[in-house]
């Protein structure tokens, strides 16, 4: 009998209802395409896009458990084909690094790989995860209550959750949120870079963080605090990060000839990086986001990290827009209470060529996934005024 790729809409009110489906997929019995099941125009559009691009209902290799859509930051989302071995090896390695299996709180959308892995780790550990209703957004009150419920219902056992830096900052902005964060033995932070200042503040408050790096193509995070998980491997090729190990996907559903998987067992990322003296991976930013201004190459994350060191800037996105003389000019959008004049004054410490030529204060930065800023949308904010 031919195996077909089954669409799996996930109800944001009750994501735990797909646990049985995931268990069957891990057992090799089904191949599933997780989809956002919300009723918002964005969720509906995303679900339709994934159904069409990943050929839901069409035949698929029986060795594939899940097809997980990428964020699609540079265009059409790709579908990472993940086998049961990919998913289980990632979950097992995570528990080994964290100190053992535990109870999980799902606080991220379950159709993204980070949320799916919370559910899969729970299945592997044989525990029932506690899931937040995210249909109305991330509520600090709900998060704090769920953290207390998880801790009180499992005395003496380990408790974990996974958050984006934005969720973490929101929780750290109130005593209620801080108390909720402190109830976990470890909190995985991924999806976007974590500011060093935020990490220091969390440590001072007794919040135990683990930064993660990875993607749908690697079954989620496969590098924790700069070091690969057991079984995972990292190498650099001319500054490009290459990830390997049993958690690496079996190619793309809708791009089978992609060079990203040209070498079996390895994934060629779009990120640049370097190794610290102690052997930790330092992620420097996306290679396809590099700004070429006046012949000089700039990783936008360099300026973004500097901007967010200002106490009046909550988040920032730096992009390049066309410039007739320089090729591209550096521009920045940000959220926070800082005024544009404050931003320029703060940037005076940067080399002149890295200073944004334009800055724009926005109510919120556009996102393409949990904690991931949509750089194309930010770029359009500035290009519309050119």
How confident is residue 72, by pLDDT bands cut at 50, 70 and 90? Answer: low
- Tell whether 51 and 191 lie within a shared domain: yes
Q: How far is CA 356 from CA 290, 326, 337, in A?
A: 14, 13, 18
The residue among 219, 250, 281 that closes a domain is: 281
> The domain containing residue 307 runs over which residues?
290-383
For the chain, count helices (H), then strands (E): 11, 22
What SS3 state is found at 386? Answer: coil
For residue 297, the model assigns a pLDDT of 87
- Tell whether 119 and 65 lie within a shared domain: yes
Q: Taking 60 as the threshold, does the pLDDT of residue 74 lie above it?
A: no
- Secondary-structure percent of the chain, ordered helix, strand, coil, rounded to 5: 35, 30, 35
Burial annotation 113-125 (CB, 10 A radius, 16+ → b, else e): bbbbbbbbbbbbb
**What's the number of domains the chain is made of?**
2
- Tell whether 344 and 200 lie within a shared domain: no
For residue 36, the model assigns a pLDDT of 94
For residue 10, the model assigns a pLDDT of 97
Q: How much is the average pLDDT of 247-258?
A: 94
Whole-angstrom distance, CA of residue 356 vs CA of residue 334: 12
Closest CA to 123 of 7, 25, 241: 25
**Cα(first)–Cα(last) distance of the chain, in Å?**
57
Whole-angstrom distance, CA of residue 177 vs CA of residue 153: 19
Least-confidence region, from 122-131, 147-156, 281-290, 310-319: 281-290
The residue among 239, 258, 281 that closes a domain is: 281
Q: What is the pTM of this model?
A: 0.86
Q: What does DSSP assign to residue 219?
A: T
The residue among 230, 257, 281 that closes a domain is: 281
Q: Taking 70 as the threshold, does the pLDDT of residue 283 lie above it?
A: yes
- Tell whether 275 and 314 lie within a shared domain: no
- Alpha helix (H) ranges present in 269-358? 300-307, 340-346
Task: Give the pair of three-digit tokens for residue 112.
Answer: 């993204």
Whether 67 and 253 have beta carbons less than 8 Å apart is answered as yes
Q: Taking 80 as the threshold, does the pLDDT of residue 26 lie above it?
A: yes
Q: How much is the average pLDDT of 62-88?
A: 89
- Tell whether 21 and 127 lie within a shared domain: yes
Whether 70 and 80 have beta carbons less than 8 Å apart is answered as yes
For residue 19, the model assigns a pLDDT of 97
- Tell whether 220 and 346 lie within a shared domain: no
Give the domain CATH number at 299.
Answer: 3.30.300.30
- Tell whether 196 and 343 lie within a shared domain: no
- Tell whether 45 and 164 lie within a shared domain: yes
- Tell whether 112 and 152 lie within a shared domain: yes
Mean pLDDT, the chain, as a whole number? 93
Give the domain CATH number at 219.
Answer: 3.40.50.12780
- Tell whether 244 and 294 lie within a shared domain: no
How confident is residue 286, by pLDDT bands cut at 50, 70 and 90? Answer: confident
- Tell whether 80 and 181 lie within a shared domain: yes
- Tell whether 216 and 69 lie within a shared domain: yes
CA angle 52, 76, 232 (to 5 degrees): 105
The fraction of the chain above a pLDDT of 70, given in percent, is 98
């Amino acid at each position: 009998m031919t195996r077909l790729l089954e669409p799996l809409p996930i109800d944001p009110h009750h994501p735990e209802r797909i646990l049985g489906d995931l268990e069957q997929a891990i057992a090799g019995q089904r191949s599933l395409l997780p989809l956002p099941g919300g009723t918002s125009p964005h969720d509906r559009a995303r679900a339709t896009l994934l159904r069409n691009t990943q050929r839901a209902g069409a035949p698929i290799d029986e060795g594939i458990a899940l097809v997980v859509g990428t964020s699609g930051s540079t265009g059409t989302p790709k579908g990472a084909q993940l086998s049961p071995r990919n998913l289980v090896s990632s979950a097992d390695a995570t528990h080994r690094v964290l100190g053992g299996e535990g109870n999980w709180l799902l606080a991220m959308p379950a159709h993204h790989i980070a949320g799916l892995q919370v559910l899969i780790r729970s299945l592997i550990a044989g525990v029932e995860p506690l899931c937040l209703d995210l249909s109305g957004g991330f509520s600090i009150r709900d998060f704090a209550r769920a953290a207390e419920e998880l801790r009180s219902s499992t005395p003496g056992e380990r408790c974990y959750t996974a958050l984006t830096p934005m969720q973490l900052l929101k929780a750290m902005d109130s005593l209620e949120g801080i108390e909720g964060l402190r109830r976990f033995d470890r909190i995985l932070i991924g999806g976007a870079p974590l500011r060093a200042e935020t990490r220091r503040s969390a440590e001072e408050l007794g919040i135990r963080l683990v930064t993660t790096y990875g993607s749908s193509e690697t079954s989620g995070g496969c590098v924790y605090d700069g070091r690969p998980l057991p079984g995972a491997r990292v190498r650099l090729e001319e500054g490009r990060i290459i990830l390997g190990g049993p958690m690496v996907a079996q190619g793309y559903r809708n791009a089978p000839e992609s060079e990203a998987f040209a070498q079996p067992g390895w994934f060629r990322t779009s990120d640049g990086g370097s190794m610290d003296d102690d052997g930790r991976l330092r992620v420097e930013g996306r290679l396809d986001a590099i700004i070429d201004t006046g012949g000089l190459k700039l990783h936008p994350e360099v300026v973004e990290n500097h901007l967010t060191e200002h106490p009046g800037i909550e988040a920032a996105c730096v992009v390049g827009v066309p410039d007739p003389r320089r090729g591209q000019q550096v521009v920045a959008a940000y959220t926070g209470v800082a005024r544009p004049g404050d931003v320029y004054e703060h940037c005076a410490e940067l080399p002149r060529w890295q200073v944004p030529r334009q800055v724009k204060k926005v109510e919120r930065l556009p996102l393409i996934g949990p904690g991931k800023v949509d750089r194309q949308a930010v770029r359009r904010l500035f290009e519309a005024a050119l």
